[in-house]
Chain A
Amino acid sequence: MRKKDIILFFCIIVAGILGIFIGKLYQSDAGFVHISVDGSEYGVYSINDANVVEITNSDKHTNTVMIENGCVYMKSADCPDKICVKQGVVRHANEIICCAPNRVIVTIIQNEEGEYDAISR
């Protein structure tokens, strides 16, 4: 191991920590929960309204998304790995819960303008 390697390591760590702080500074308010299934928009829900969203995708697989107290989590899913369920709770803008086998993507967005508000076409 050379000195350069240690410098590299700390540079990246510092960049990461800075990134976390900058992220917190410019964090937008969590407004809505955007759910997409099989690649297309399934629904947009306000994060402030308690909700239980039952999803069935085109392969008849089910996911249950819970929205309560400004938090979102995957209550249950019939996928084999259940990583989405184990992931826990998200509450900040841009956080994502994804069930890859069932092609369900749950994103927290700021406003309900739709999924293309970040990339202009």
Chain B
Amino acid sequence: MMQYRVKRITFLGLLVTVGILLGYLESLIVLPIGIPGIKLGLSNIITVIILYLFGKSDAMLVLAVRILLSAFLFGNGFSLVYSLCGAVCSFIIMALIYRLDLFSVVGVSILGGVMHNIGQLLVAGISVMSFGVLYYMPVLLISGAIAGMIVGVMADKLIIRLERIYKS
């Protein structure tokens, strides 16, 4: 089964790369929100795809690798903490909803996107020691939901195609 392992690691490695690229492209889009680390959440598509194709262990692994590499390549100590917190909040909810099968990929992505932003907001709130950051919550809910919807619809199509490619 060595062949299977190599295939899986290669595939996951490629997805990590795409994830890092997406993260970089995202960071070029400046959002009018003062909270550092707030992104559109497009790179979540990678996490969702792996969650559905390989399960939560691999998804967690890829998430961790992607965050660490992105932080070391493009970020700083701060951005690592923000990314980690957002990713943890997002992933816990996504894995739970996926397991409970409450929503389809789209719903999972939407909740993942929203929870990511909420996680970032929490870290920001703690670092400035104030509830004032909640001012940005409504905007983040909306942008998280929209990004999540786009990610979910794309992931829905991609998962089927990627599964076919992987199994061939």
Is the beta-carbon distance between B128 and A96 smaller than 8 angstroms? yes
Is the beta-carbon distance between B141 and A101 smaller than 8 angstroms? no
Total interface residues in chain B, CB < 8 Å:
41
Contact of B128 among A9, A17, A92, A105 (CB under 8 A): A105
Q: C-beta contact mask, B126-168 vs A, less than 8 Å → 1, else 0?
A: 0111111111011101101110010011001000000000000
Is the beta-carbon distance between B130 and A118 smaller than 8 angstroms? yes
Task: List which A63-113 residues lie within 8 A (CB) of chain B.
Answer: 81, 83, 86-88, 90, 92-98, 100-101, 103, 105, 107, 109
From known contacts A1-B152, A96-B35, infer whether A16 and B104 are also in contact, taking CB-CB under 8 Å.
no
From known contacts A83-B30, A98-B34, A100-B36, infer whether A107 and B141 are also in contact, taking CB-CB under 8 Å.
no
Q: A4: shortest Cβ distance to chain B, in Å? A: 5
Most buried by A among B131, B135, B152, B153: B135
Measured in the bound complex, the distance between the Cα atoms of B136 and A20 in whole Å is: 9
Count of chain A to chain B residue pairs whose CB atoms are closer than 8 Å in the complex: 109
Interface size, A (range): 35 or more
From known contacts A4-B102, A5-B103, A100-B78, infer whether A119 and B130 are also in contact, taking CB-CB under 8 Å.
yes
Contact of A2 among B37, B78, B104, B139 (CB under 8 A): B104
Q: C-beta contact mask, A5-44 vs B, less than 8 Å → 1, else 0?
A: 1001100110111111001000000000000100000000
Chain B residues close to A by CB (< 8 Å): 27, 30, 32, 34-37, 76, 78-79, 102-107, 110-111, 114, 124, 127-135, 137-139, 141-142, 144-146, 149, 152-153, 156
Can you name 15 A-B pairs with beta carbons within 8 Å? Answer: A1-B156, A2-B106, A5-B106, A12-B110, A12-B142, A13-B141, A16-B139, A16-B141, A16-B145, A17-B138, A90-B34, A92-B135, A100-B36, A100-B76, A107-B128
